Amino acid sequence: MDDDLPTQLSRRAAVGGAVAAFVSLMLAASATARATQQRRYDPRYALVSRLCDLVIPPTDTPGAAQTPAAEFVLLAIDHGMSNLEARSLDLVRESLQSAAGGDFLGLARTRQSELLAALDARAFARSPAPASGSPEFAWQHLKPAIIAGYYTSEIGASRELVYEPVPGPERANFVLTADYRSRSNEDFGGPL
């Protein structure tokens, strides 16, 4: 782009560029929306959604299952984010099925929670460190995706926590109050 181009040409080029950019944005947004919708019909969706629900249940704010967290987890698996593999979910499923003595998703929610809590406790125990390829190791990689999916969703970021895109110029240290809620913006991006 030349700074000294005739105004008319600049305007035409700018309008053309804006239209092209808008069309690409529309196409990208539409592709993302389609992919998100398709993940709801993914056979893995039911289990992942339940895992999300057990980790972050609804309380006075919606839980992870009421957000696109499960879609994000499947996206993370399918794209290998943070070394997640398809077998991570398989290993977790098999472990929970085994502990359930059958259909994990068919159990009562309380029992599901107990079984997942047991896996979670083993996965994050100080020792021994979970072996690579174990369900505990797989859960160590899967859980960050659930958390990230929730706290980067609009509900997790702005209703469960406080979304503060522009804190303002008044920066200050202060003493925490009982009703203080963390700012979701503190740690967007980076590793899961």
Q: Are the C-beta atoms of residues 161 and 151 closer than 8 Å to each other?
A: yes
Which residues, listed in sequence order, are joined to residue 183 by a DSSP beta bridge? 162
By the rule CB under 8 A, 38 interacts with another protein: no
Structure tokens, 147: 């958390």
Tell me how far, at minimum, the Cβ of 182 lies from another protein, in Å. 5
d(CA 34, CA 24) in angstroms, rounded, equals 15
**Residues in 47-106 that interact with another protein by CB under 8 A:** 54-57, 59, 63, 68, 72, 75-76, 79-81
Stretch that binds another protein, among 39-47, 93-101, 129-137, 165-173 (CB under 8 A): 165-173
By the rule CB under 8 A, 153 interacts with another protein: yes
Of 12, 23, 124, 133, the one binding another protein by CB under 8 A:
124
Q: Are the C-beta atoms of residues 87 and 46 closer than 8 Å to each other?
A: no
By the rule CB under 8 A, 3 interacts with another protein: yes
By the rule CB under 8 A, 176 interacts with another protein: yes
Contacts of 135 (CB under 8 A, 6+ apart): 91, 92, 94, 95, 119, 123
d(CA 176, CA 154) in angstroms, rounded, equals 25
Q: Are the C-beta atoms of residues 92 and 51 closer than 8 Å to each other?
A: yes
Tell me how far, at minimum, the Cβ of 75 lies from another protein, in Å. 7
Binding stretches for another protein (CB under 8 A): 1-4, 28, 32, 54-57, 59, 63, 68, 72, 75-76, 79-81, 113, 116-117, 120-121, 123-125, 143-149, 151-154, 157-158, 160-161, 163, 165-176, 180-192
